[in-house]
Structure 1
Amino acid sequence: MMTRWGVPLLLLSLLAVSSWLLEELGLDRADRNQRDLQNKPDYAIDNFTTVIMDEKGLPKRRLQAKRMVHYAATGIGKLEEPYMIFFAVGSEGEAEEKYAGGNPLQVYPIWHVRSEQGQVLDDGKTVYLLGKVHMWKNDDTGTMELDIRTRDLKVLPGSHYGETNQAAVIRTVTTETRGIGMRAHIKPGRMELLSQVQTIYNDRNND
């Protein structure tokens, strides 16, 4: 038999449980709304292209993609078939001579990087090139002199630097070098393979 205090205590218990359930449901709904917001893009651009200029108004690098989808909640831009180009100009002495002569500086693409997918973070300060990555360097005549194949490359465009912990293959006219993990110093054009490095030398005289 229930005492006179039993009913109020039971009601209080039910009220506490109901309040807890409502709070949990509210938090769960808020979490779902937050996840939905993060997964919802605020805009998308087909044939996306952005160009970063230097202090003289010359292009330093260009990023383009078949499609870019931006997510406001995270600030991430997801790229389809991204393609990065780093440009080069003449030396400072040559630049002064050309400006003194009234002629504009000649700018040419020197490093190219393509991948299957990509992500842009931190207002473009970090770019992840995901999936298969093809990276190559041209000389000043436009002839390819360095060809690199790897996967999942993290690029810091402002520092002219990239890195991956995946397998990489670096080919030149006379060599093929394979290794695991790579650091790419894009500005001086210096590549480092971190482990299991093997190099094969091609004797062009036997071709």
Structure 2
Amino acid sequence: MNRIYLATGFFFLLAISTYGLLEWYSAKEQSSSILNRTDKPEFIAENLNSAIYQASGALSYHVAAQRMEHYAQLEVTHFEYPKYTLYPKNKNATWQITANEGTLYNNNRVKLKNRVRLIANDDDSLIREVHGKNLEMDLKSNIISSEQTILILGKGFTMYGSGLIVDLNTTQMTLTEHVQTIYNQTQN
């Protein structure tokens, strides 16, 4: 019986060792393929500051970033620490959206991630800030959305939820799942 346990243990260790080696080699190959990418940016901009206008001549949005890399073959532009200022079509107050990373696709959709903040520049706005891990925005329609957890800071309240759709043109905001709202006590 001891031989059976010994043989089983040996084969078990052999299987674990083989699996570990295969995983290690595949991880090594993946990391080397990322480092040796043939996709090189067509151009790079440091301290980017750009204004984009509509066909009518009205300012559509302004973008600033610490670094921007444009990949023509992939049709994407990657931003480090982007800051967008959005100008709604109905001439309402502007909104700013910032993040640690952003990717602009050729269809004018931007995916922002890591410490994303949407800030209202109107002092009379009920919503002051929206915080999330990821947000997507359509630069043509000024619609911002997320399916992740969201924190909303407003005048006298803090709201937690997930799934957000914001239309900056109509200032309509929809929260898919409301988790909790905390109201601040006001003094007379």
Q: TM-score, normalised by structure 2?
A: 0.72
For the 8 Å contact 1:85–1:109, the answer to whether it is kept is no
> Shift in Å at residue 87 of structure 1?
2.2
SS in 1 for 2:37: helix
Q: Who is 2:23 aligned against?
A: none
Higher mean alpha-carbon deviation, 190-199 vs 153-162, is at: 190-199
Output aligned runs, 1:98-177, within 5 Å: 110-122=94-106, 125-139=108-122, 145-177=127-159
Matches of 2:88 and 2:111 in 1, distance apart?
22
> Shift in Å at residue 196 of structure 1?
4.0
More helix by share: 1
Output aligned runs, 1:17-96, within 5 Å: 36-38=37-39, 40-87=40-87
For the 8 Å contact 1:154–1:164, the answer to whether it is kept is yes
One-letter amino acid matched to 1:178? Y
Deviations 1:60-113 (A, max 9, x none): 21122111011122011110000110125876xxxxxxxxxxxxxxxx861000
Deviations 1:112-135 (A, max 9, x none): 000000101115x11111111011
For the 8 Å contact 1:87–1:110, the answer to whether it is kept is yes
> Shift in Å at residue 56 of structure 1?
4.0
One-letter amino acid matched to 2:136? K
Q: Who is 1:193 aligned against?
A: 175
Structure 1 segments unaligned to the other structure (5+ residues): 1-31, 92-107
One-letter amino acid matched to 1:164? S
Q: Who is 1:24 aligned against?
A: none
Matches of 2:74 and 2:89 in 1, distance apart?
36
Q: Who is 1:10 aligned against?
A: none
Q: Who is 2:27 aligned against?
A: none
Q: TM-score, normalised by structure 1?
A: 0.66
Aligned length: 154
Matches of 1:185 and 1:66 in 2, distance apart?
27
Higher Cα Rg, which structure:
1
Structure 2 segments unaligned to the other structure (5+ residues): 1-32
Matches of 1:163 and 1:88 in 2, distance apart?
16
Deviations 1:127-149 (A, max 9, x none): 1111110111122x698952111
For the 8 Å contact 1:148–1:168, the answer to whether it is kept is yes
User: Taking structure 1 as reference, are residues 178 and 154 closer, same or farther at Cα in structure 2, changes over 3 Å only?
Assistant: same
Aligned sequence identity (%): 23
For the 8 Å contact 2:60–2:87, the answer to whether it is kept is yes
